[in-house]
A = this chain, B = another copy of it.
């Protein structure tokens, strides 16, 4: 059909006066080939401008050289999600370096009882799967085990936590880091404006928050822990609300930059000086974080590494029949900016 009359391995073999198997062995540098024939073959390949047809190779080898990446069908902001994007970049880089392509798929839809992910696997389009924890439903994971199909979860999953491989940001450590930074700067009454309490990352951050306060010998005031949406409006309202308390906090940890944005605005309106009278710290380092007024101290999460790790674990799994499961946590770090600089150092 689509011919373009291309050079094949046979042409190379003929030209070099050897069998196709020998050429194949040179391409894959397998077994022992004498230096002499090797050079002859490489020369022939160059002369004919030969490139191995990857379709034929994949077919013969029975692997697609592709890894599937499930995206959240319900979140049509997935692609404007910085968290997601940077990890995709990490995945992409590692995959590329190992000769794998990325195949993005919508996790949701089901057709005649077969999900699109399942179809991808059964049609042999992918050799492994990376999926965000929100997509790691029991049913799908069971299916993957059944098919003995290699996969890695992005973010700590709710189910099969021990039986499967996953990579996550060390949110507990991040929560500790946030509190320790604020304490070290001189803040004493630290509130926590959390996102969705059902999300595991929220729970872990809170865990770190509690641990760090305990280690510092400070008590946890449950009224200082509040859950809300990750919007500026929520941050704005929450700050105004919490300052009605007889003893309001002197610092706030926000689970999101956008929320912190609202907190800063509210502080401005209330005439509260940041960082003198209120420290503000947020998880994640969005591009806007350095441009807020004052610039925002953040817990930086390295989602690029997250992606890198996920991909390299997956590729290892694809290679070896049985691999021990692996759970990896990526450490966070503080980027200190003006919003928590209590002593004006």
Partner of A79, one of B1, B89, B125, B287: B89
Closest chain B CB from A263 CB (angstroms): 12
Q: Provide the main secondary structure of the chain A interface.
A: helix
User: B123 touching A53 by the CB < 8 A rule?
Assistant: yes
0 or 1 for each of A85-120: is its CB under 8 Å from B? (1 = yes): 110110010001000011111100000000000010
- Of A54-62, A175-183, A204-212, A323-331, the one with at least 4 CB within 8 A of chain B: A54-62
Give the number of times this chain occurs in the complex, counting copies.
2
User: A54 touching B261 by the CB < 8 A rule?
Assistant: no
Q: Is A251 an interface residue (CB 8 A)?
A: no
- How far, in whole Å, are A21 and B187 apart by their CA atoms in the complex? 76
Q: Is A51 an interface residue (CB 8 A)?
A: yes
**Count of chain A residues with a beta carbon within 8 Å of a chain B beta carbon:** 48
- How far, in whole Å, are A4 and B52 apart by their CA atoms in the complex? 26
Residues of B within 8 A of A62 (CB): 1-3, 55
- How far, in whole Å, are A287 and B54 apart by their CA atoms in the complex? 42
Given A89-B79, A96-B106, A288-B261, A59 contacting B56 (CB threshold 8 A): yes
- How far, in whole Å, are A82 and B104 apart by their CA atoms in the complex? 18
Q: Is A122 an interface residue (CB 8 A)?
A: yes
Q: Is A213 an interface residue (CB 8 A)?
A: no
Residues of B within 8 A of A258 (CB): 287-288, 291
Residues of B within 8 A of A61 (CB): 1-2
0 or 1 for each of A118-154: is its CB under 8 Å from B? (1 = yes): 0100111100000000000000000000001000000
Closest chain B CB from A89 CB (angstroms): 4
- How far, in whole Å, are A303 and B221 apart by their CA atoms in the complex? 46
- How far, in whole Å, are A232 and B294 apart by their CA atoms in the complex? 13
User: B2 touching A63 by the CB < 8 A rule?
Assistant: yes
0 or 1 for each of A280-291: is its CB under 8 Å from B? (1 = yes): 000000011001
User: B265 touching A51 by the CB < 8 A rule?
Assistant: no
Closest chain B CB from A41 CB (angstroms): 16
- How far, in whole Å, are A64 and B54 apart by their CA atoms in the complex? 9
- How far, in whole Å, are A119 and B88 apart by their CA atoms in the complex? 23
User: B124 touching A55 by the CB < 8 A rule?
Assistant: yes
Residues of B within 8 A of A2 (CB): 61-63
Q: Is A80 an interface residue (CB 8 A)?
A: yes
Residues of B within 8 A of A265 (CB): 293
Q: Is A220 an interface residue (CB 8 A)?
A: no
User: A85 touching B89 by the CB < 8 A rule?
Assistant: no
Q: Is A262 an interface residue (CB 8 A)?
A: yes
Residues of B within 8 A of A291 (CB): 232, 258, 261-262
Interface residues of A (CB under 8 A from B): 1-4, 51-56, 58-59, 61-64, 66, 78-80, 82, 85-86, 88-89, 92, 96, 101-106, 119, 122-125, 148, 232, 258, 261-262, 265, 287-288, 291, 293
Give 5 A-B pairs besides A1-B62, A102-B102 with Cβ atoms closer than 8 angstroms. A1-B61, A2-B61, A55-B59, A101-B125, A102-B103
- 29 contacts across the A-B interface (CB closer than 8 A): A1-B62, A2-B62, A2-B63, A51-B122, A51-B123, A51-B124, A53-B123, A53-B124, A54-B125, A55-B58, A55-B59, A55-B124, A56-B59, A58-B58, A58-B59, A59-B59, A66-B101, A78-B89, A79-B86, A79-B88, A80-B287, A92-B104, A96-B105, A96-B106, A101-B125, A258-B291, A261-B288, A261-B291, A265-B293
